[in-house]
Structure formats: structure tokens, C-alpha cells
Amino acid sequence: FDEVIVDTATKRKQYPRKIAECVIKTMKAQHE
């Protein structure tokens, strides 16, 4: 349970930024 909590919380901390980076990259590529 503890591992699941840490794993979920870590994703919540890191993934939004990673997803945002991907979205920005996609936007830039589309623009180009």
C-alpha cells in the first residue's frame, strides 16, 4: 500500500510537467 501511495504521489508530482513538455514539443513541431 505504501509503495502504491509513493508511486501515485510521485507520478502526480512529475507527470504533469513531463506531459506539458511533450505538449509543448508537439505544439512547436506542429507550428514548424
Q: Report the alpha-carbon distance of residue 8 to residue 12 in Å, rounded.
A: 6
CB of 10 to other proteins, least distance (A): 7
Looking at the chain, list the stretches that DSSP marks H as alpha helix, in order from N- to C-terminal side.
2-31
1 to 32, contacts with other proteins by CB under 8 A?
1-2, 5-6, 8-13, 15-17, 19-20, 23-24, 27, 30
Look-up of cell digits 514539443: 25
Look-up of cell digits 509543448: 24
CB of 12 to other proteins, least distance (A): 5
Contact residues for other proteins, defined by CB under 8 A: 1-2, 5-6, 8-13, 15-17, 19-20, 23-24, 27, 30
